[in-house]
């Protein structure tokens, strides 16, 4: 038996299968139906499904509906990592089903709530199985006989039948065929025994010494339409002759069954009106803000830089990430630290982050380097975006300095997978500092290395890189603050528009002006506090036990953000975008304040 990675393991056992068809496991395709980079459409219990296999082997079973306009996703395309709606190009991630890109809003990350309905998938006996409404305990497969057939089986031709599944099941109990070795005998002369189990019939045919068993599982498509998925419990030496015999017998069966008079069965399958809520053992995305992950891999990828791969605990799909996203890592020592996700598209079974040991570590990077081992469990936030990637520009320029490569990697991979043009400039002091070499090799000659340059030479190299602004081009830069400051001024001098240059800072080197004194009204707490010169809003909130999380406490990570209801913030962070600053609706409480008398916050 093989399973899609992270799929739940169906237990064996003999507990009674649920009688509700919607709680049973049903075959919905054969494994050969899921050809790489294709999309397969089927139905189950009056619900349309789309199936696609990602390049990592995972089988996705989703509701066949784009969350934009309800168009069938089965007419879309499978790029091996994402399923793309043909109508407006919305992209959905392998495993989680979360939307990763909306072309009409190229500068924004899609809302995390844009999440397709996913169903668990298990590959077994050459079939893809799923269930629409799993009960807490994963039920055993409905067909114990299939389990007994060990590895030697032969999948027969699938048979669509224009009849309700109840009628097909009843007709199958009377179906006749001959065993291999007696294929020239009239099936009417075969001795048949039948065992009906819910949505499957096991038939055994005996002719003289020859004996053969087959299981016919019925997939209820919709009222009045079914598919029979037969499996022979042996692999005969002449499979062609056996396949032909069964094809002929089943064609007769379909014709006779469809010609039957049948009253509408009282137990008609019905579609669920409400979205299916999958239990934690399914492939559904966990919705809570915090997720437990296991350290699945830890390796040194450059001088003082480790890569950590964080996999979900209990096989739960991880919340969908977008290129440029970062995570809050909640460390066992109580610290919260932010790290960029460096994933390639379709990596939805892990988050890969890069961590540089900081010389002046305050306990974050040093702890991860020295005290975290494979198998440890950590807690992470949902991915957050402060650095969304536009994918509708003619040319993208990535400029990374040192560990600043991390947020840019996932962005470059996203463009690479969409065959969009980019150049990747990477500044490091020494060849041993070059991190994620495999990824850079993968990008090929669009990567330009700048090694061992002095600050003066770095500025000269940046001038050369930014010399000719490209119409519609976009720059993403991440690295040490002096380098980013240089990029900001060189790009402005060269004529790059403000909104064409995006930065991600790891630290804030702004000289913070904490000389103002003002009051902060907390609307939800009905409290007014005074922030004196030299204090931060964050410190005053803490002193009064107002809960607010923080991390860098220097205006670089965005963790301590609060919503401004009234008043004009004096921004001193490097996290908020120019638009967010101008809107004045958010403030980073660890560094920013107001130059007026009063601020009203939504706390």
Site residues (CB under 6 A) for ligand FES? 550-553, 555-560, 573, 575, 588, 590
Query: Which residues fall within 8 angstroms of residue 288, CB to CB, at 6 or more apart?
Result: none
DSSP secondary structure string, 53-111? Answer: E-TTSPEEEEES--TTT---GGGSEE-SSEEE-TTT--EEETTT-BEEE-TTSTTSPPP
Query: Which tokens hold the place of 163?
Result: 């009849």
Q: Closest approach of Cβ 276 to ligand FES, in Å?
A: 39
Closest CB to ligand FES among residues 62, 575: 575
Q: Facing residues of 161 across strands?
A: 226
Closer residue to ligand FES in complex, CB, 396/508: 508
Which residue has the closest beta carbon to ligand FES? 590
Which residue number, 97 or 569, has a Cβ lying nearer to ligand FES?
A: 569
Closer CB to ligand FES, residue 400 or residue 556?
Answer: 556
What are the contacts of 181-187 at 24+ separation with CB within 8 A? 181/207, 181/209, 181/210, 182/207, 182/208, 182/210, 183/241, 183/242, 183/245, 187/249
Alpha helices in 149-270 (DSSP H): 165-172, 239-258
Q: Which is nearer to ligand FES, 59 or 562 (CB)?
A: 562
How far lies 462's CA from each of 261, 427, 470, in Å? 79, 10, 15
**362 vs 463, beta carbon nearer ligand FES:** 362
- Nearer to ligand FES by Cβ, of 286 and 337: the residue is 337
Nearest distance from C-beta of residue 584 to ligand FES, angstroms: 17
Min separation Cβ 603 and ligand FES, Å: 14
- Tell me how far, at minimum, the Cβ of 546 lies from ligand FES, in Å: 15
* CB of 525 or CB of 539, closer to ligand FES: 539
Cβ closest to ligand FES, residue 110 vs residue 558:
558
Nearer to ligand FES, 231 or 588 (CB): 588
Those residues whose C-beta lies under 8 Å from the C-beta of residue 251, and which sit 6 or more positions away, are 159
Minimum CB distance to ligand FES, residue 562 (Å): 10
Query: Would you say 50 or 552 has its CB closer to ligand FES?
Result: 552
| Cβ-contact 388, 109 below 8 angstroms | yes
Q: Is 146 exposed, middle or buried (0-12, 13-18, 19+ CB in 10 A)?
A: buried
Nearest to 551 by CA among 272, 333, 335: 335
Check the CA dihedral 131-81-399-395 and report its sign: negative
Least spacing, CB of residue 553 vs ligand FES, in Å: 5
Q: Which of 403, 410, 415, 417 is nearest to 369 (CA)?
A: 403
Task: Report, in Å, the least distance between residue 574 CB and ligand FES.
Answer: 9
State the maximum Cα–Cα separation within the chain, in Å, rounded to a whole number: 100
What count of other Cβ atoms lies within 10 Å of the Cβ of residue 55? 15
- The continuous run of DSSP H or E covering 201 comes out as strand 200-207
| Minimum CB–partner distance for residue 507 and ligand FES (Å) | 10
Least separation, in Å, of the C-beta of 559 and ligand FES?
Answer: 4
CB of 558 to ligand FES, least distance (A): 5
Terminal-to-terminal C-alpha distance of the chain: 53
* Least spacing, CB of residue 557 vs ligand FES, in Å: 3
3-state secondary structure of 407: helix
């Amino acid at each position: 038996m093989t399973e899609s990675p992270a799929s739940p393991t169906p237990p064996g056992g003999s507990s009674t299968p649920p009688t509700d068809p919607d709680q049973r496991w049903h075959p919905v395709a054969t494994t050969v139906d899921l050809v790489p980079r294709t999309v397969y459409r089927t139905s189950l219990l009056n619900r349309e499904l789309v199936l696609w296999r990602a390049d990592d082997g995972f089988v996705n079973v989703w509701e066949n509906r784009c969350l934009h306009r309800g168009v069938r996703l089965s007419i879309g395309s499978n790029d091996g990592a994402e399923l793309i709606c043909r109508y407006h190009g919305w992209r959905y991630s392998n495993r989680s089903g979360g939307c990763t890109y909306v072309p009409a809003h190229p500068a924004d990350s899609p809302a995390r709530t844009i999440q397709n309905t996913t169903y668990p998938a298990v590959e077994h006996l050459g079939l893809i199985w799923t269930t629409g409404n799993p009960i807490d305990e994963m039920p055993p497969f409905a067909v114990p006989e299939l389990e007994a057939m060990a590895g030697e089986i032969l999948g027969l031709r699938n048979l669509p039948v224009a009849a309700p599944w109840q009628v097909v099941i009843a007709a199958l109990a009377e179906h006749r065929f001959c065993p291999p070795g007696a294929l020239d005998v009239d099936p009417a002369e075969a001795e048949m025994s039948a065992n009906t189990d819910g949505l499957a019939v096991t038939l055994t045919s005996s002719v003289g010494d020859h004996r053969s068993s087959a299981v016919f599982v019925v997939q209820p498509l919709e009222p009045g339409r079914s598919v029979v998925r037969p499996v022979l419990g042996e692999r005969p030496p002449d499979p062609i002759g056996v396949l032909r015999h069964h094809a002929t017998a089943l064609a007769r069966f379909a014709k006779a069954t469809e010609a039957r008079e049948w009253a509408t069965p009282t137990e008609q399958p019905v579609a669920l009106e409400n979205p299916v809520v999958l239990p934690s053992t399914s492939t559904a995305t966990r919705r809570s803000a915090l997720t437990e992950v296991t350290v699945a891999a830890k390796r040194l990828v450059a001088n003082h830089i480790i890569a950590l791969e964080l996999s979900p605990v209990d096989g739960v799909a991880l919340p969908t990430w977008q290129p440029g996203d970062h995570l809050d890592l909640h460390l066992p020592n109580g610290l919260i630290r932010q790290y960029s996700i460096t994933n390639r598209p379709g990596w939805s079974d892990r988050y890969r982050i890069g961590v540089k040991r900081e010389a002046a570590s305050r306990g974050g990077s040093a702890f991860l380097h020295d005290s975290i081992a494979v198998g440890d469990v950590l807690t992470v936030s949902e991915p957050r975006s402060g650095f969304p990637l536009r994918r509708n520009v003619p040319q993208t320029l990535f400029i990374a300095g040192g560990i600043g490569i991390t947020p840019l990697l996932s962005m470059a991979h996203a463009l690479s997978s969409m065959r969009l043009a980019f150049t990747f400039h990477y500044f490091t002091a020494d060849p041993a500092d070059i991190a994620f070499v495999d990824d850079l090799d993968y990008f090929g000659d669009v990567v330009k290395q700048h090694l061992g340059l002095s600050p003066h030479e770095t500025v000269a190299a940046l001038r050369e890189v930014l010399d000719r602004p490209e119409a519609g081009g976009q720059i993403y830069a991440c690295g040490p603050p002096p380098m980013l400051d240089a990029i900001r001024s060189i790009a402005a001098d060269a004529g790059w528009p403000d909104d064409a240059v995006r930065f991600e800072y790891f630290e804030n080197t702004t000289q913070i002006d904490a000389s103002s004194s003002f009051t902060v009204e907390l609307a939800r707490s009905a409290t007014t506090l005074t922030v004196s010169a030299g204090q931060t809003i964050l410190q005053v909130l803490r002193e009064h036990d107002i809960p607010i999380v923080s991390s860098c406490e220097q205006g670089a990570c965005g963790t301590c953000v609060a919503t401004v209801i009234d008043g004009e913030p004096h921004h001193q962070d490097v996290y908020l975008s120019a638009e967010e600053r101008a809107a004045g609706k958010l403030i980073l409480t660890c560094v920013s304040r107001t130059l007026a008398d009063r601020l009203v916050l939504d706390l």
